Structure 1
């Protein structure tokens, strides 16, 4: 069947605006159902325009939910902007259970497996890493000292493009008397990628150093949450073991970390070495012990090899960043279809970013398996938003300048599209940060919308793969879990090929259906989970790690 690229789209039958899929000029004639009208102004791709004359305070619906209200009268064919439209979303509560859903056909994937690392608790990793972690920011320098000593010698230093030759060219030109314009016009393509060293421990994917700015000096809730987050990384199926360095006097005590580990894995058996600087004495004594323990731990980790595992052992984190007006109609619903496929296969998915669920709370509450789960979700959402409001930054302030420029002019518009990543399956669990959220099925995890804080939390909650959709482009990654970047549009994919793995702009371009894109994504997930493909975030060494200081972060 021939596939046609549409010029505009009504996303849901209840919507009273259309989305431009291509740039539409002023005066362009719109034919929609029984309506025929002319655009009052040019509409850029990704932006929305009205299908009728609307008075001030008229409610705007997208994705079938309330996403805004008009500030003043708008005639038919007018573009929605931040000047004429303000954020609005519907009220929500614990009402009813709507658990019926249509499971996708997964026959092509029913017998497929990936090659992963089995852990003693039955979980399976998509990678095999060793961690070196400070319990408090006071030890960051010592962690970096270990990094300098170990990473390159072990063959784990990411050998990216070396720009020193470009600097040499610029300096030589400057010393020769080049003008500012001449410097700006120079062609800089001198250097090449460095050769990658051979790994000493061939079955260990890397040694990762998780520096942070927490552990003491703040409120106890932050240090306790840090211990929970670090415990989530240490017990993670992608981690073989860890070296932890504590100062000794900080709020984030080793005893708290051990207790958090027991909460997540009562029979924890991985090698774990915890050193306290104040007990060890000199830096040399501390470093020598840490080096011996780490090398010994790596030798144990190297004994593990990849084995066939069912797709039910996958736990996929769902993330978006640098979203645009196409996110909710291309990449996010494609990832949502992948979510439904994995749930059907017995796997787990995690939907987080609570500020980006604003406007779809009622739908998600209704999809919770029981009233208790629904009540926890409603409570977390209302508490989070109330805290944000008290600090002068409610969820309505979530869209960034880039979001707004590309058509996401209210938080509810952004959120309704972002929620599509979660598919349509029932919600089996709601977790607060930094709890586990890896039950088979769809899990909700309370995190900020901040890309790195949310991805960091999803991994601690159990995600062993992260699918990250982006409209504007972002290089975000994670130290221990492959982060797969999925573009919502072809232009961004072509502009940032070094950072993005998969293009879902094919859906907008009329070349592919959502289901077809989802199958393509899941095939790539299997390859990445098996270590056969390496996503761009891993190749770039994007080891982004930011614990959430439990305050207002949107």
Structure 2
């Protein structure tokens, strides 16, 4: 039997083909006038080899080394964890490498477009206008929660739920003696109420409460990093100001936070109110002062209105999570094209998740605009991996069970596809965790591959929009930066439409090109930057996990 040609070769150097649909054992498939007989069932998103491989032979995908055969693999056989092991090329910085001239994509459709954002005194533009309430140490989390209970509903920021849960109906049934079986069959889904219609401060998008488990105990370096991250959140153009709660004796001192903020924004004019519990008469007095200062801050923040801004003011984070075998074929290259468009328009983009750049280091080194940036990237990558190995892990252990099940057999395969989010433009800057985006163009930011830790870092370095690709689905969001969820396949988009914003499965189906999908996605980003609510925003998905620079991939 013949296939319907639902297979793809990504790069001419590759010796694997990707199944775009489920293919049965014994099927004859033809690609580029060559015929292959499948040796086993090949699920969609998985790959099979185009030639017989002996143990130790190398496997290439996306034009780079992604693995080594653990045993002989027959032509037409599927690669899996049983026959393939992670392997990558070595990398290094060569000052003599000639840089290719980068050709930006056609940006004519977007040159005159703008978004409506919040203009800050330092020239940055926010896509949202949020107020932060931040604890410097975990023992202030309770006080933050008390402030949340006191402020959210009264100010009109009550939770807008895409679907409400009618618990009152269950309570009524229980009191009436209804059986457990009847309760399990009862429909309790209903439309949630939108309390934001009654917002007291309509120009303030949200009051955001950041809780965490750090600030004291552990390594002092972690406390310093936490202060740098929190300073980055205050410095983000999507933030109008902050109320900071301190106990007083913790490692994460208010002075460290203020020093970090001064270095990031020497001319900072945003109001930042620091309240210390050990200097207060009582906890109630502390909370009362926090409420009053926050209210005054919101009064000032509400004076700022959305106004047109150039697309060059966009700083877009590039993220992936719950990746699958289509990520590097549809959604990630689409983000890459958006990145190239934004760079061409004078904006900035940020590629993070350093464990998921394993195997493509040399390509990114070659794209760095000078050797110092290349050396910095090389040093961070090697140091990070060495530290992970010393703690019993390594970049090669990064793929999750879900990744592997859906075709990402090795970290190198995952990384080669993940790097596509960075497009083709030169690397203008390399940033360590919490360092701020200060240059237009493509930036590399060191974060772990963990979805929430990475998105937390992207917002902390200044991203005012985050694009997040997923092949398996994830509800991840961020407190201060809107997260646009992009699906790699149409099945996922239809199944989890309540948490996914944009579909690139049309590329897999041949309905659209990467360029077409990229232009449509950028149009969607402009809407979001002007106030359109993402699915994560509608669900109040405000995930915040600071990265402790220990072992986290």
Superposition TM-score, scaled by structure 2 size = 0.96
Distance 1:30 1:6, change over 3 A: closer
Residues 350 and 438 in structure 1, CA contact (< 8 A), matched pair in contact too: no
Measured after TM superposition, the shift of residue 438 of structure 1 is 4.1
Distance 1:99 1:154, change over 3 A: farther
Per-residue CA deviation, residues 216-262 of structure 1 (Å, 9 max, x unaligned), is: 10111100000100000111101111100111111111111011001
For residues 302-451 of structure 1, the aligned pairs below 5 Å read 302-451=302-451
SS in 2 for 1:327: coil
Per-residue CA deviation, residues 472-528 of structure 1 (Å, 9 max, x unaligned), is: 000000001110000000000000011000000000011100000000000000011
Measured after TM superposition, the shift of residue 33 of structure 1 is 2.7
Distance 1:178 1:455, change over 3 A: closer
For residues 57-76 of structure 1, the aligned pairs below 5 Å read 57-76=56-75
Stretch of structure 1 that moved more, 378-387 or 431-440 = 431-440
Per-residue CA deviation, residues 358-409 of structure 1 (Å, 9 max, x unaligned), is: 0100000110001100000000000000011111110011000000000001
SS in 2 for 1:83: coil
Name the CA distance, whole Å, in 1 between partners of 2:139 and 2:186.
43
Unaligned runs of 5+ in 2: none
SS in 2 for 1:485: strand
SS in 2 for 1:249: coil
Distance 1:177 1:316, change over 3 A: closer
Residue aligning to 1:164: 166
Name the CA distance, whole Å, in 2 between partners of 1:116 and 1:177.
53
Name the CA distance, whole Å, in 2 between partners of 1:386 and 1:282.
48
Residues 326 and 489 in structure 1, CA contact (< 8 A), matched pair in contact too: yes
Name the CA distance, whole Å, in 2 between partners of 1:317 and 1:379.
22
Residues 165 and 188 in structure 2, CA contact (< 8 A), matched pair in contact too: no
Measured after TM superposition, the shift of residue 178 of structure 1 is 5.1
SS in 2 for 1:281: coil
Residue aligning to 2:37: 38
Per-residue CA deviation, residues 7-60 of structure 1 (Å, 9 max, x unaligned), is: 000001100000000111111112123421210111000000010111111100
Measured after TM superposition, the shift of residue 171 of structure 1 is 5.7
Superposition TM-score, scaled by structure 1 size = 0.96
Distance 1:6 1:189, change over 3 A: farther
Measured after TM superposition, the shift of residue 102 of structure 1 is 2.3
Name the CA distance, whole Å, in 2 between partners of 1:101 and 1:167.
61
For residues 241-260 of structure 1, the aligned pairs below 5 Å read 241-260=241-260
Within the alignment, does 1:124 sit opposite 2:128 as a pair?
A: no
Measured after TM superposition, the shift of residue 101 of structure 1 is 2.3
Per-residue CA deviation, residues 168-194 of structure 1 (Å, 9 max, x unaligned), is: 189649944455xx665x252453312
Distance 1:6 1:515, change over 3 A: farther
For residues 445-460 of structure 1, the aligned pairs below 5 Å read 445-460=445-460
Residues 356 and 419 in structure 1, CA contact (< 8 A), matched pair in contact too: yes
Residues 322 and 471 in structure 1, CA contact (< 8 A), matched pair in contact too: yes
Residue aligning to 2:110: 109
For residues 437-516 of structure 1, the aligned pairs below 5 Å read 437-516=437-516
Distance 1:72 1:190, change over 3 A: closer
Distance 1:552 1:178, change over 3 A: closer
Within the alignment, does 1:100 sit opposite 2:110 as a pair?
A: no
Report how many residues are paired: 546
SS in 2 for 1:480: coil
Unaligned runs of 5+ in 1: none
Measured after TM superposition, the shift of residue 552 of structure 1 is 1.2
